[in-house]
Amino acid sequence: MIQLPKDEPRKPQPEPHNFFIWGATMSGKSYFASFFPHPLSLNTDGNAKQGSVPDIQIRNIRGKDGKLTQSVIEQLDGVITQLQTTPHTFKTILVDVIDDICVMIEQAICIDNNVQTLNDIPFGKGFSTFNSILQRFVMDLKALPMNVIYISRELIITDEKTNTSEAVPSLKTKYYNIVNGNCDLVIHTQKFGNDTYTRTVTDRRAKYKPENIKDARVRKLLETCNGMFEK
């Protein structure tokens, strides 16, 4: 039977577990994420061998007939099932990079439907299938008792009128909203010159306090981000 909670105010103790890290290539996204406790990387770039984090390569594989012999949709489902059902020691999952995973999900839907783009699937069914797969992936990850880190590249948008430019996450806005609606902290990584790396909090769900971050390692990492805690 469902038990209702007591009708009394609760004292919130906000602690971030879902992170979105974005930045230009080589700006230190994967490097920073790799210091989170016990990471497992869902990697798309194929060169994770260069990194130190245990990884699963996420990709669509096509057979000779052009059909998928491995679909990222099934692969991601399988990873989540394993994380939910088998004992393991991982504490952080890195989605490196979410932009590619979105493209690969699109690709898998298109191949399964024998079309070139989601737009070619009638009645908007391509887009709705995509949205529900991405939403389920994000919700399933969020429900795991782990930190989740989405990594995204950077896009420079130039306003020709004012001749100014702005860096933004490269994940398409509608996908960004799905992913970010489930994130607590957004962190921008930047590299200046040859070896100055910075991390800046660009959005947050709550004003976090160091004493609320239970994991000392995560607290230390977040302390290196500008604008994380109030001085």
Ligand X SMILES: Nc1ncnc2c1ncn2[C@@H]1O[C@H](COP(=O)(O)OP(=O)(O)OP(=O)(O)O)[C@@H](O)[C@H]1O
**Which has the closest alpha carbon to 72: 46, 99, 109, 121?**
109
Which amino acid, one-letter code, is at 213? I
Out of ligand X, Mg ion, none, which partner does residue 25 contact, by CB within 5 to 8 A per kind? ligand X
| Residue 23 is a binding residue for ligand X (CB under 6 A) | yes
One DSSP character per residue, 116-155 reads: SSGGGSGGGHHHHHHHHHHHHHHHHHHHSSSEEEEEE-EE
As a whole number of angstroms, the distance between CA 4 and CA 14 comes to 22
Interface residue with ligand X among 28, 167, 182, 215 (CB under 6 A) is 28
Output the CA torsion sign for 34, 38, 43, 46.
Answer: positive
Out of ligand X, Mg ion, none, which partner does residue 17 contact, by CB within 5 to 8 A per kind? none
Interface residue with ligand X among 18, 20, 22, 29 (CB under 6 A) is 29
Out of ligand X, Mg ion, none, which partner does residue 89 contact, by CB within 5 to 8 A per kind? none
Total residues binding ligand X (CB under 6 A) = 11
**Minimal distance, residue 21 CB to ligand X, in Å:** 8
For residues 140-169, which are near ligand X according to CB under 6 A?
153
CB neighbour class for 165 (10 Å; exposed up to 12, middle 13-18, buried from 19): exposed
| Residue 180 is a binding residue for Mg ion (CB under 5 A) | no
As a whole number of angstroms, the distance between CA 170 and CA 151 comes to 10
| Residue 35 is a binding residue for ligand X (CB under 6 A) | no
| Residue 71 is a binding residue for Mg ion (CB under 5 A) | no
In the complex with ligand X, the residue whose CB is nearer, 28 or 227, is: 28
As a whole number of angstroms, the distance between CA 227 and CA 207 comes to 10
Range in contact with Mg ion (rule: CB under 5 A) among 23-31, 133-141, 177-185, 219-227: 23-31
Angle value at C-alpha 60, between 22 and 184, nearest 5 degrees: 25
For residues 165-204, which are near ligand X according to CB under 6 A?
189, 197
Q: Are 190 and 27 in contact (CB under 8 A)?
A: yes
List helix spans (H) across the chain: 29-33, 72-85, 98-112, 125-143, 173-180, 216-223
Interface residue with ligand X among 14, 31, 172, 210 (CB under 6 A) is 31
**Minimal distance, residue 23 CB to Mg ion, in Å:** 9
Angle value at C-alpha 196, between 191 and 198, nearest 5 degrees: 60
| Residue 30 is a binding residue for Mg ion (CB under 5 A) | yes
Out of ligand X, Mg ion, none, which partner does residue 31 contact, by CB within 5 to 8 A per kind? ligand X
In the complex with ligand X, the residue whose CB is nearer, 73 or 188, is: 188
Q: Which residues bind Mg ion (CB under 5 A)?
A: 30
Q: Which residues bind ligand X (CB under 6 A)?
A: 23, 25-31, 153, 189, 197
